[in-house]
Chain A
């Protein structure tokens, strides 16, 4: 008796599939087979799925930077990963023959744990299997990560922190990119943590970054529930890949007290990668809380406050009493601010050296 090889060939089932943003580094030519052992799924595995029931995400971010409207029965290539988003979904990197959830429009699939009450249920998917190479080894986005470069990163590194989602971090990071670029610097923009999505990357590019990287370039589809050692290595790898830039603007996702962000900021070795931080906040009280958390937990005093608060002059006036300059996105994109920040950085030790 001999067993019949039932492993499906990938090419026929992949035909016409939409490859999502988080899979953009995958060399598609090495995909040969489809593995159907869904219970063995781990974070980062490449997943072929079919759209069954449209929910919150009605579009998919494609690997080429465009949106694609989703239709029932669309085949999509995604990455299995965890998701942490206060205003959307919480989910884990797990697959089931009964189906899976599209946890993020950048192409993250997994199992929903909870959702924000204002958000519809996620788009539901049938999982065809995990993509594998000819020998049957399941492919993972980590297989296509950039290698750490044997050189130091940019001379200056500024971190952008926030109190949570939608505090204005990405706008602040883009503003800084634009200001330093117009000052005459070659600027790298890095999204160090979060869930894979091209929205932030596009904003950095639009602001004039000479080089744009995120954690998906370092082999993660999402940083939620990843070991903090690995996350520190990701930031080091991304910085080392931007060594020909004068300065890097590094955005950390979510709030400073989010589990992974907090663990990173508590590490002196991680803080030592940065010269300074700015903090995006939605209001004065949030600023007060985040500043206190940063001082007590991470020994960090940001250079300035920024974010949504800058839309409200009355809140700015209150926040200014905390003793920090409050800079809007427009202020940050002023090359005179970049010049001023260079002055301040040239006079200060690195953030982690304090």
Chain B
């Protein structure tokens, strides 16, 4: 049976973390799972524990508490939740809790908002990406302004970072999924006219629109897109519901491939090995 540990954080510096360790660990990369705005992390950890055993992967589930990281989903927010996750992963690597392989990243709802922005800012620090039902997205399109897209002068250096990283961000397996019944307009679903015009009125239309835009951007960058979309039948905007009815846990924590070239460590060594 996988063991679920809770590791205390340092307020404003490192988030507390649920660490799910499989009974029989494999050499596959760790998986980082990001919660939504409801922050129901303990339930999420329990729903994912079986997948840790099934895949042999360590699952890291940081808790971006509302007091320290109220807008964590923006990643490069005032409280810099992106820095917090970078720091957490470094601490876990240094302590031997996770290996040197670049972790995969999966996020649900607000966690998917965070996940796609984090991977976009740090494409060398993330492997596969699984994005489930975010409320709204940053599009890989220079015709709009940040944070809805990556053009214009708004967003300062974050937009600059994202423009530079577009191709490297899209050059990975990205799986987008959303519940077919997730078409409501709850309080967490942004309804600004600009968002509605660009992305649609609900999470399903927004996920479809982003997937199409990402595929177009990947092709424009001369990449062969590895971006997939799945509608989970009979699923609402609930992680538990998506696991029960859409087998989301298997998508969220897939079997992990072992890629010796994707390791965080000596860049020198990596370049020599690649050469």
| Beta-carbon contact of A327 and B157 below 8 Å | yes
What count of chain A residues pass the 8 Å CB interface test?
28
| Beta-carbon contact of B164 and A343 below 8 Å | yes
User: Contact check: which of B122, B125, B161, B168 meets A346 at CB < 8 Å?
Assistant: B168
- Of all chain A residues, which has the CB nearest B165? A343
- Of all chain A residues, which has the CB nearest B90? A184
Instruction: List CB contacts (< 8 Å) of B71-117 with chain A.
Output: 76, 82-83, 86-87, 90
Known: A325-B160, A331-B157. A155 touches B86 (CB 8 A): no
Please, which residues of chain A bring their CB within 8 A of the CB of B161?
336-337, 339-340
Known: A182-B83, A184-B86, A344-B164. A336 touches B122 (CB 8 A): yes
Please, which residues of chain B bring their CB within 8 A of the CB of A184?
86, 90, 125, 264
Determine whether A174 belongs to the interface, using a CB cutoff of 8 Å to chain B. no
| Beta-carbon contact of A343 and B168 below 8 Å | yes
| Beta-carbon contact of B266 and A186 below 8 Å | yes
| Beta-carbon contact of A340 and B165 below 8 Å | yes
Determine whether B12 belongs to the interface, using a CB cutoff of 8 Å to chain A. no
Determine whether A335 belongs to the interface, using a CB cutoff of 8 Å to chain B. yes
What count of chain B residues pass the 8 Å CB interface test?
26
- Of all chain B residues, which has the CB nearest A317? B153
Please, which residues of chain B bring their CB within 8 A of the CB of A22?
none
Determine whether A156 belongs to the interface, using a CB cutoff of 8 Å to chain B. yes
Question: Would you give the shortest CB distance from A348 to chain B, in whole angstroms?
Answer: 11
| Beta-carbon contact of B165 and A155 below 8 Å | no
| Beta-carbon contact of B82 and A336 below 8 Å | yes
| Beta-carbon contact of B157 and A155 below 8 Å | no
Determine whether B11 belongs to the interface, using a CB cutoff of 8 Å to chain A. no
Determine whether A243 belongs to the interface, using a CB cutoff of 8 Å to chain B. yes
B-facing mask of A237-256, CB < 8 A → 1, else 0? 00000011111000000000
Tell me the A residues contacting B by CB distance below 8 Å. Answer: 152, 154-156, 182-186, 243-247, 325, 327, 331, 334-337, 339-340, 342-344, 346-347
Q: Could you give 19 example pairs across A and B, Cβ below 8 Å?
A: A155-B267, A182-B86, A184-B86, A184-B90, A186-B266, A244-B266, A247-B267, A325-B157, A334-B157, A339-B123, A339-B165, A340-B164, A340-B165, A343-B123, A343-B124, A343-B164, A343-B165, A343-B168, A346-B168
